[in-house]
Structure 1
Amino acid sequence: MRHIIKVVNPLGVKDTVTTKYMRQNEIFADAFNYFVYGGEQVINPESLEELDTREIDVPYGGEKGARQPVQKTRDVIKSVIAMMDKRTAYLLLAIENQSNIHYAMPVKNMVYDALQYAKQVEEAITSHKMSGDYKGSDSDEYLSGFMKADHLLPVVTLVIYFDSKEWDGPLSIHEMFAGQDARVLALVPDYKINLLSPASIEDEDFGKFQSSLKEVLSFIKYAGDKDELKKVLDADESFRHLGREEVDVLNACVGAKIAVKEGEEAIDVCLAIQQMNEEAAQKERISTLFVSIKNLMEKMGWSAEQSMDVLSVSDSDRKALWKLLK
């Protein structure tokens, strides 16, 4: 008989749940409103329109001149019309979810953004060709295909790090160069990444979030410190009815192990953590009692029942111990 073993890739699970979570317009907008506008509600979730996450770079000259087009897939990218100081801004916003530190993140993001700009140029060229509006343009405009009056939409990529550790990877291309002459680096354009890392968020700044991203990131920040995490959970009533997708992110990214019943959409995280702690304490108590009982049985020659009587073991603990002593 053949046995089929299903192997689950933990990184794949993390990517799936974080992308699903960040794809929600409310969460997506909240991340950028916090990072770009300091919590001011500039980007309206309803104004977001999801775009194709695939980026294909076709070099100028069309398909015949592109023997090996480059294709990359972003996590989430959306277009938005944002209003700031009574001015309209057309933007392309993208999010890259990271559950682990990527030590070449500046290069990764630079490629994604460059492909998006190349795509915009190609779309402009195609548009001019279809409309036939090259008449009256000078030779330079005609040859480049991109007119003097054409403009690009800014692409802002935000990296969200779903881990409690400090990000110790490079934040720019220049940080990835070693021992270079400053005169040379002055001629090399730097490329910096926009990073949202829970460990670097000040406690008072979590209040600038308007969605469940506040609870998710604050939980992640203190996931490794039980005492601080308990303070955070006790101080925020929102943790008593966190959504299933939020809990999926916490379970996958920081191993929260919060139990979710089938069909349950709102989870009391505080209660779940309390029950987990109680279960952990019970396991530790049972383990300690088991060792003590075995020692008494071996050294004193007593039965398991006599050993439990001497140790004043409760009825509930006896049931658990009998399973181990069988």
Structure 2
Amino acid sequence: MNWISNYVRPRINSIFSRREVPDNLWTKCTECDTMLFHRELIDSLNVCSNCNHHMHITPRDRFHSLFDGGLFTEIDVPEPNADPLSFRDQKKYPERMKTAIKNTGEKEAMLVAIGDMGRTKVVAAAQDFSFMGGSMGMYVGNAIIAAAETAVKQKCPMILFSAAGGARMQEGILSLMQMPRTTVAVEMLKEAGLPYIVVLTHPTTGGVTASYAMLGDVQIAEPNALICFAGPRVIEQTIREKLPEGFQRAEYLLDHGMLDRVTHRKDMRNELITITRMLMKQDPAIAADLPAPVPAQDGAEFEDAKK
């Protein structure tokens, strides 16, 4: 037995050999290019610690941070026709859907759930911009209607987090029909005397802004969120003029009376608890009595509180 070749050399190689580092340990901020460690990013709810930029957060992770104890129940949404127009561009529509489902782990661009937030039962719906740009199709319309019907049945407020590039072109006129459908759903809440709160996140554009995203009893936005119908570049090319600094950003809209609040993501839970309890004519929440959200765990996802 050769002690050097059989033991010493493999031992040295194992110590000095380059170890593979997982690709998801660090994330670059899309605003300032700062490299952010994944655990710190999860703890800060995907907000850059250097420039305070609010990056994308999935609806599921958002709900875990908002609902008491991170516990919520998903609401079933009726499934629409998978490919009503047999649409095809460079790929078939079903192929694009399969890719989006694989990349996000979600079946569509909106997640609807019910649970307690500050001891108050609420229905929440959130769009996922990473799922085909959060585009508004028939499923999103069905999701908002299902959320509104559940809120009316349970006699509780509805909170909607918008994030979309507009209507889904693969569904053509059927996607545009979701604008009046969702408007009727919002009217159901108003007729029942129930609060409808909208939180506009980056970006909220197109037909979404022309319908349910701007119909809230209270309009809140995350800092620096782009909120518009047509984007600033399109407007500049149309009118051939330079737009004001920060045009169509959340702070600009707040200054011009289009929003009620611009709220940091870490303060969003307490803000929504205060507003919902006030609109439901309940006593103010006692901070020490409220269950804390589930703490972030190692890895890319929050802990499943049910385990």
TM beyond 0.5: no
In our comparison, the structure showing a higher alpha carbon Rg is 1
> What is the TM-score with the length of structure 2 in the denominator?
0.30
- Larger proportion of helix: 1
